[in-house]
Amino acid sequence: MTTVSPQHPANPSYERILVATDGSDDATAAVAQAAGLAAAYDATLYVVHVVDTELFDPAVAAQAVFRSLERYGESAVQAAAERATAAGVETVRTSIERGDPHRAILDYADAHDVDLVVLGRRGWSGLERSLVGSVAERVCRLADVPVLTVRATAD
């Protein structure tokens, strides 16, 4: 599914594509789509993992917890970068961010002037979505650029 804001309609050509990964199957499917688009448009692919600092009180959580989460993220972005390179993407940039995931993704997209955001989307029920929320949903609602959401499995 692609979500496009009225201010920024779908661009027939992309130069900078952002994909966020958490290492899940849905994120892996999103990486494949983003890499294919980046290769087709000769675009730079930005691969980001966000360590969710909203899960822990930073004053209480040991830095070891954050470092462990960052190592997991580094593994996820490295795997994504390798997939993108294998798909023919010439320029891949990786980053580990900290913060509220949807806000960190939006801020990164703004800071790097991306043309398209690609995200994995889990098929949660209405109750799960209400209780937990969805990073992809929030990014779709708030992004100024088109957002492509990808699921690993069909609805």
Instruction: Report DSSP state, residue 102.
Output: H
Q: Is residue 98 part of a domain?
A: yes
Yes or no: say if 31 and 84 are a contact pair by the CB < 8 Å rule. Answer: yes
- Contact, 52 vs 45, CB < 8 A? no
Q: What is the pLDDT of residues 63-121, one digit of tens each?
A: 777 788 889 999 999 999 999 999 999 999 999 998 899 999 999 999 999 999 999 98
> Is 155 among the domain residues?
no
Range of the domain at 146: 2-150
* 32, part of any domain: yes
Give a yes or no: residue 129 inside a domain. yes
DSSP state of 21: -
Spatial separation of the C-alpha atoms in residues 57 and 153, rounded to whole Å:
34
Model-level pTM? Answer: 0.83
Domain total in the chain:
1
113 touches 16 (CB < 8 A):
yes
What span, in angstroms and rounded, lies between the C-alpha atoms of 37 and 11?
12
- Average pLDDT of the residues in 44-49: 97
Going by C-beta distance under 8 Å and a sequence separation of 6 or more, which residues neighbour residue 141? none
